[in-house]
Chains A and B, each alone.
Chain A
Amino acid sequence: MNGAKWQDEPTDYEMLGKLPRKEPLPEPPPQNVMGSLSITAAAADPELLDLPWHIALEQWPEEYLAALPRGISRHIVRFAKLGGSVIAVKETGEHIARHEYHMLRRLQRLDVPCVEPVAVIRDRQTPDGKPLDPVLVTRHLKFSLPYRALFSQMLRKDTLTRLIDAQALLLVRLHLIGFYWGDVSLSNTLFRRDAGAFAAYLVDAETGELYPDLSTGQREYDLEIARVNIAGELMDLLDGGLIDAEVDPVATSERIMDSYRNLWAELTEKESFELGERWRVSARIRRLNELGFDVEEYAIKTTPDGSTIQLQPKVVDAGHHQRRLLRLTGLDAQENQARRLLNDMDSFRADNFPDQDEEIAAHAWVSQVFEPIVRAIPRELSGKLEPAEVVHQVLEHRWYMSEKLDRHVPLAETLQSYIDTVLRHRRDEAAIMLNPDTQTLKLIEADAAREDDDFDDELANDDEAADDDQLAGPEATPRAR
């Protein structure tokens, strides 16, 4: 393992907020017991040991790298191949790496969408003994894209709005579990397609802190950071010519405030109504279900004279439709995909099994609708989109075809049309990790090349550009190669 030391760390510290500094770390076990360190990494990823930890990340040979669209980061970040999957490797300070590793593990346990931490690797050094920065290793989220890669594709008019709504939902979910992010931005988020919308995943927990509850001040400050960062990111895309010149970064960034506040209010606010309006209890719960949340616990109080009822959700849990789909079919999908599939399943039941149990209808739907669609996708196209997303799109496609042709369109006909006219022309999103999408990379490369040219021109004009290069820290902006 080229002299680098690594370890799996317990995550049972109970301190609020930050990871306490405990120095020095206990010595890692000797190499011959490396196997016993397998709790998060070694058993599942023995190949981790084969990566060139003795080389600074910036100089990693290409054969180790998986070409993926990269976001902007203040650290050196590289994506490397690891067995059949891809890992993100970030060079950073030891304390930060450990803090982030612990935070991500805790967030995972709390079932918040975030990237999976794999390992912290420290005590790296070059063959001649020069120390190298520790790294945090996370697993790349399959079928996910940084927002910059989404913008470099053909951008639908409302993509931006949906991204921001997904970001707001993620922020609400994080705040509900007491996580103060401290650096909310599109760059620190990954997006997965979710039946026409997006599902957002936290990808950078460096500044994050966990508390039993967040104060209004913490939530509002996170929201303010989000607003400023999103506006900055959009201004940057505008300057880079990557979004429509008509997009107003400031107005768009305001959307996160509204989207977040509306959702937060719906999920947490107290509602008062007359005793005779008891239907409002189930109406509120239905609204929360529609938003994708289950109400695990709510408080209902009546005023002393008994005339008014106060209702307040206490514990809400995201994933209402995901859980229902999983329970009925065993299928794992994003929230909106699940909602879409359940809708189809419900109408399938009404048409075919109106008097049967939900479970029986669900079983039939999986074998007669879901599985035939997934099986019909030619192998060479299977990396384009996640199966649940494909099924959603096929169902959508059928609806549009029926509208256009003004008749019922059978599944087989829909599938053929979808594969030929839609799927075949999509870029390969899963295969980005194995078979890079050339269009995106070209765009990013062209962009990097353009900046390189600018840089060279500037250097030619002024040789002082890097006069304090000795100060260059690990936060150099990474580039696609």
Chain B
Amino acid sequence: MATVTFDNATRLYPGTDKPAVDKLNIQIADGEFLVLVGPSGCGKSTSLRMLAGLEDVNSGRILIGDRDVTDVPPKDRDIAMVFQNYALYPHMTVADNMGFALKIAGVSKEERAQRVREAAKLLDLEQYLDRKPKALSGGQRQRVAMGRAIVRNPQVFLMDEPLSNLDAKLRVQTRTQIASLTRRLGVTTVYVTHDQVEAMTMGDRVAVLKDGLLQQVDTPRNLYDKPQNVFVAGFIGSPAMNLLELPEVDNGVQFGGTVYPVARDVLAEASGNTVTLGVRPEDLESAPQGEGLAVEVDVVEELGADAYIYGHTNLNGQSHDIVARTDGRRPPMKGDTVWVRPQQGHVHLFDTKSGARLG
């Protein structure tokens, strides 16, 4: 078990002038499950590969525990890449499939057997140890593959989109299994995904990256409730937060026909005459006609108890998409116009120029 530290870790690919990962600083606690998330090209996989030793670190350091591993070869870092390869060997028993890498590493027969038994217990595979993989179901086979990583007793598990080749149902089940298993084992885990739902449901903390820069590392709750900038605000949450550039007025922000009150000292932090106001779909409430924004309904997505309205509004002569949650029993119809305004205390304000959170 160990902590993991990215200390100003930077990766610059030869022939490029913009780092793929730029001065990354993250401290991962012993036993923590940290998720790296972001869109394609954000640097999340590169960061993981730097930790694995597959990418050179051009400046800064990477530590596992107190040990600086920046220049240590991958196999000597005491890490396990999970699901890298889960082909199972047909003639070997489940126990041998789980323990063969230990044999290669010269671990004694007794110790191998013991570690395999322990892992099998955790994975609910004890009764299958003497069988051949063919006798296992798909889910069990995947657990055998996981067992291969567990028996090595690594300090850190690294997982790079391990669920990307599973169908939706198996994906959700395996997601839960991985999260609970790593917590039971107490092994520090770094997990990469492009899927923010996966990130939010699995991580103790989630690090959001964009263009090689860490945007925010925080608990899923804080990322959702207190995004530090416009990017995180828009990236985390589904459907995404509504983000609108609105003019400042005395004591607040002009939200269509309404003034949304904002403390003067918060407004004073803004660099221009407008601010970017973010409001989640569930934080928009219906307003009397003429108040807030008029939203023309394009699509209604009914989910039973709730419904989502996908519509558009006109602000300063420009059309903006708006998503709002509404009561599922009385949803509006396509083509209707509804009036919405933010609930008090449920908006996020950002500097329009820098994107940073205000207040």
Which A residues lie at the B interface, using CB under 8 A? Answer: 15-18, 20-22, 72-74, 92-93, 95-96, 133, 180, 182-183, 185, 187, 207, 211-213, 215-218, 220-221, 224-225, 227-229, 231-233, 235-237, 239-240, 242, 250, 253, 451, 454-455, 458-459, 462, 464-477
Alpha-carbon gap, A237 to B100, bound state (A): 13
Q: Which residues of A contact B133 (CB under 8 A)?
A: 477
Alpha-carbon gap, A477 to B90, bound state (A): 8
Q: Which of B50-58, B276-284, B301-309 sits within the interface?
A: B50-58
**CB-CB under 8 A for A74 and B54, given A231-B104, A250-B104, A471-B170:** no
Q: Which residues of B contact A458 (CB under 8 A)?
A: 131, 135
Q: Which residues of A contact B137 (CB under 8 A)?
A: 465-472
Contact of A250 among B88, B103, B127 (CB under 8 A): B103
**Which residues of chain B (128-176) have a CB below 8 Å from chain A?**
128, 131-142, 164-167, 170, 173
Alpha-carbon gap, A239 to B95, bound state (A): 13
Q: Which residues of A contact B41 (CB under 8 A)?
A: 15, 20
Alpha-carbon gap, A454 to B135, bound state (A): 9
Alpha-carbon gap, A233 to B193, bound state (A): 30
List 6 additional A-B contacts (Cβ < 8 Å) besides A183-B84, A213-B14, A465-B137. Answer: A15-B40, A74-B87, A221-B54, A236-B91, A454-B135, A468-B139
Main secondary structure of the interface of B (DSSP, over half): loop
Contact of A217 among B73, B100, B170 (CB under 8 A): B73
Kindly supply a per-residue 1/0 record for chain B positions 195-210, scoring 1 wherever the CB is within 8 Å of any chain A CB and 0 otherwise. 0000000000000000
Number of B interface residues, CB 8 Å?
52
Alpha-carbon gap, A285 to B332, bound state (A): 78
Q: Which residues of A contact B166 (CB under 8 A)?
A: 93, 473
Q: Which residues of A contact B84 (CB under 8 A)?
A: 182-183, 207, 225
Q: Which residues of B contact A253 (CB under 8 A)?
A: 104
B75 at the interface (CB under 8 A from A): yes
Q: List 9 A-B contacts (CB under 8 A).
A: A16-B20, A17-B46, A18-B40, A72-B89, A216-B56, A229-B85, A235-B100, A236-B90, A472-B137
Nearest A residue (CB) for B163: A93
Nearest B residue (CB) for A218: B54
B15 at the interface (CB under 8 A from A): yes
* A475 touching B140, Cβ below 8 Å: no
Alpha-carbon gap, A207 to B56, bound state (A): 20
Alpha-carbon gap, A93 to B88, bound state (A): 19
**Which residues of chain B (48-91) have a CB below 8 Å from chain A?**
49, 52-56, 73-75, 84-91
**CB-CB under 8 A for A21 and B194, given A475-B138, A476-B138:** yes
Nearest B residue (CB) for A99: B164
Kindly supply a per-residue 1/0 record for chain B positions 238-269, scoring 1 wherever the CB is within 8 Å of any chain A CB and 0 otherwise. 00000000000000000000000000000000
* A72 touching B136, Cβ below 8 Å: no
* A215 touching B55, Cβ below 8 Å: yes
* B89 touching A16, Cβ below 8 Å: no
Contact of B91 among A74, A93, A237 (CB under 8 A): A237
CB distance from B147 to the nearest CB of A (A): 14
Alpha-carbon gap, A185 to B85, bound state (A): 10
Alpha-carbon gap, A159 to B243, bound state (A): 65
* A221 touching B89, Cβ below 8 Å: no
Q: Which residues of A contact B194 (CB under 8 A)?
A: 21
Alpha-carbon gap, A477 to B135, bound state (A): 10
* A93 touching B75, Cβ below 8 Å: no
Q: Which residues of B contact A183 (CB under 8 A)?
A: 84-85
